[in-house]
A and B are shown apart, each in its own frame.
Chain A
């Protein structure tokens, strides 16, 4: 495992150099919040942030992605034959991703990559991505990564972990992919014992700060239909606007829609993020809608994350504790409280 020290300026310079071999995405301040943008000379990366407003999920699984293309031109001998859209899977690096958001990729993986079906686009995007995480020195009060199997310096899933030591970054290679990335980084020097100790101390400190009291331990023992019929769903869902904020900001939501779009004689089949909050999500062609009420859709989201997923994959919950839905739900529906209601029911 390589541990290297870079001054913050050196690190930015190193990332610029790495842009020759990777598409490097970095957090950039964009108005009131941070967002991942391709590294370029005009806007410097800014590693002083709590978390990006949107998770990095769109870099592996874009909000709108072309799947196939076809010609509708009758003169074309290949008309109406659906073909794969060529894709660029050259290596990319997400630099500054928080460990919770990286954990999100692990949580969604069995959905996209399992023994029955493999989603070619998610898998190839994911495999071409180097996850260069930035440990959280100051977890937010709304963070609960430690309650759901992660932590502010959780190395799981990451290829590289960055420790913010103040004036310097200590950068650790964690996987072969990460070491390969680091080997191409110019500058920096080998970290001495003192730096490694300082980094470890930061991680220990941060772990103490993050709340780890969102209870999920009893969820696996509950009966689906009991929780489904619990009396609290109407109350939980009352304020919900059925907007897509929670599902679109979430690093572990994966639902999508498939649409055909045509311009002239050329067509594309596209997949777009979709949301279980939208009534259209389950509307049958006949007009029947099995989840036509707001509280049913709210229930679906929480049940899927905190119970259905748990039962299906026999692991943890479908939540990485990033706290975005807690912070940005416009009506303050708080998954931490709902988890408690469900866990203690």
Chain B
């Protein structure tokens, strides 16, 4: 996808020059391999900073919340679905946005790459079409990108943006026959005790740094429940109960809203696969409400509407 870079730069330059947008939000190439930094640009002469490759794995929608200006932004499938959610939740208006759509072929899992090279230090990554070459001191290896996709990208069925003002390339073919919930089903099959054990072990290393929460465009509350002090709902130490409370509550706040963009897992400094929580809720949203978040800017999410004919008595 690195070939999109030139098109993104040209588009951004034109938008900024023509005054169609005040700023343009994208990525710049990172200072270390496999890292890229979100960047905002207002000077059309500085668009050459912009960069896109298969390692841009954050969610740029995170940077839109409550902005007042006119913004150009790049968005692949999941990011565009979060923009839709942001619009539905009144965090930004469609009129403020000029969305440059990216047909996405998936983001590389940097941890899988490190594992594949025996956790040696990677000094350079070169992307060529559907392959990429990783090199470091005394090694150089070429891999198929398809085999190194992040686990959310590997099962993604919405690679193309759902809203956009223009596209950097023609849409890519959507993946078919993938089961996004294979792992969830495995956990569902566990008995409660085993399930609890699984999740307890999973979050054991959590530092409570809140990178997962803060990288998530859904988490924009001015004061998060974990930060409330009157009353204080959650303790602030690394007590396992408090940590579990944080993770479960966070996941529930994402129910029916999560696009499985994978930013939370990408940013975790200790590699916790916390999508195991949100994916279960995504599965429930799909099964109970035929709902996938962010696909339709005109439909209210199932958990924020009231229907007089709801089949549950308690909401009537």
The distance in angstroms between the C-alpha atoms of A54 and B208, with both chains bound, is 13
- In the complex, the answer to whether B237 meets A270 with C-beta atoms within 8 Å is yes
Tell me what chain A mostly uses at the interface: helix, strand, loop, or mixed: loop
**Interface status of B269 (Cβ within 8 A of chain A):** yes
Bound-state CA distance A328–B270 (Å) is 9
Nearest-neighbour CB distance to chain A for B198, whole angstroms, equals 15
Q: Give chain B residues whose Cβ lies under 8 Å from the Cβ of A264.
A: none
Contact with A along B44-73 (1 / 0, CB 8 A): 000000000000001000110000000000
Complex: A64 Cα to B38 Cα, angstroms: 33
Q: Taking CB as reference atom, which chain B residue is nearest A279?
A: B227
CA distance A138 to B227 in the complex (A): 41
Contact A241 B207, beta carbon cutoff 8 Å: no
Q: How far is the CA of A257 from the CA of B237 in the complex (A)?
A: 10
Judged by a CB distance under 8 angstroms, whether A290 is at the interface is: no
Alpha-carbon separation in the docked complex, A336 to B30 (Å): 13
Give the interface segment out of B111-119, B174-182, B305-313.
B111-119
Other-chain contact of A330, B137, B205, B237, B267 (Cβ < 8 Å): B267
* Residues of chain B at interface, number, CB under 8 A: 40
Query: Contact at A332–B121, with CB atoms within 8 Å?
Result: no
Tell me if A275 is interfacial: C-beta within 8 Å of chain B: yes
Within the complex, which residue of B31, B36, B123 is in contact with A326, where a contact is CB–CB below 8 Å? Answer: B31
Query: Which of A238, A241, A327 sits near B211, CB closer than 8 Å?
Result: A241
Assess the A331–B269 pair: CB atoms within 8 A: no
Among B31, B205, B209, B271, residue most surrounded by chain A Cβ atoms (within 10 Å)? B209
Check A326–B38 contact: CB distance below 8 A: no
Are A334 and B39 closer than 8 Å at their CB atoms? no
Q: Is B247 an interface residue (CB 8 A)?
A: no
Distance in angstroms between the alpha carbons of A140 and B32 in the assembled complex: 11
B269–A53 contact, CB under 8 A? yes
Contact for A239 among B39, B114, B123, CB less than 8 A = B39
Q: Which of A33-75 contact B (CB under 8 A)?
A: 33, 49-50, 53-54, 63-64
A244 and B211 contact, CB distance less than 8 A: yes
- For the complex formed, measure the closest distance between the CB of A261 and the CB atoms of chain B, giving whole angstroms: 6
Q: How far is A328 from B213 in the complex, measured between Cα atoms in Å?
A: 16
**A241-255 vs B: 1/0 string, CB under 8 Å?**
111110011000000
> Measured between alpha carbons, how far is A64 from B242 in the docked complex, in Å?
12
* Contact of B236 with A257 in the complex, beta carbons under 8 Å: yes
| Contact with B267, one of A64, A243, A280 (Cβ below 8 angstroms) | A243
Distance (whole angstroms) from the CB of B247 to the closest CB of chain A: 15
Cα(A8)–Cα(B29), bound, Å: 41
Are A32 and B31 touching (Cβ within 8 A)? no
Are A50 and B121 touching (Cβ within 8 A)? yes
B contact residues around A276 at 8 Å (CB): none
Residues of B within 8 A of A30 (CB): 205
Q: Is the CB of B32 within 8 A of A326?
A: yes
Residue A314 is within 8 A (CB to CB) of chain B in the complex = no
Q: Contact check, A241 vs B269: say whether CB atoms are below 8 A apart.
A: no
The answer to whether A272 touches B269, judged by C-beta atoms less than 8 angstroms apart, is no
Tell me, in angstroms, the Cα distance from A327 to B32 when the chains sit together: 7
With known contacts A141-B121, A245-B209, A53–B270 Cβ distance under 8 A: yes
User: Which B residues are in CB contact (< 8 Å) with A244?
Assistant: 207-211
The answer to whether B211 and A245 touch across the interface, beta carbons within 8 angstroms, is: yes
> Closest Cβ of chain A: how far from B49's Cβ, in Å?
11
Is B235 engaged at the interface, CB distance under 8 Å to the other chain? yes
* 9 examples of A-B residue contacts, CB within 8 angstroms: A31-B271, A50-B121, A141-B121, A238-B39, A241-B215, A243-B214, A245-B211, A259-B235, A272-B236
Question: Other CB < 8 Å A-B pairs besides A32-B111, A241-B211, A280-B229, 8 of them?
Answer: A53-B270, A138-B121, A241-B267, A243-B213, A244-B208, A259-B235, A330-B58, A336-B31
Top 3 nearest A-B pairs (CB, nearest first) are: A330-B267, A244-B209, A243-B211
Chain A residues packing against B (C-beta within 8 Å)? 30-33, 49-50, 53-54, 63-64, 138, 140-142, 238-239, 241-245, 248-249, 257, 259, 261, 270, 272, 275, 278-280, 326-334, 336-337
What residues make up the interface of B, taking CB atoms closer than 8 Å to A?
A: 30-32, 35-40, 58, 62-63, 111, 114-115, 119, 121, 123, 137, 205, 207-211, 213-215, 227, 229, 235-239, 266-267, 269-271
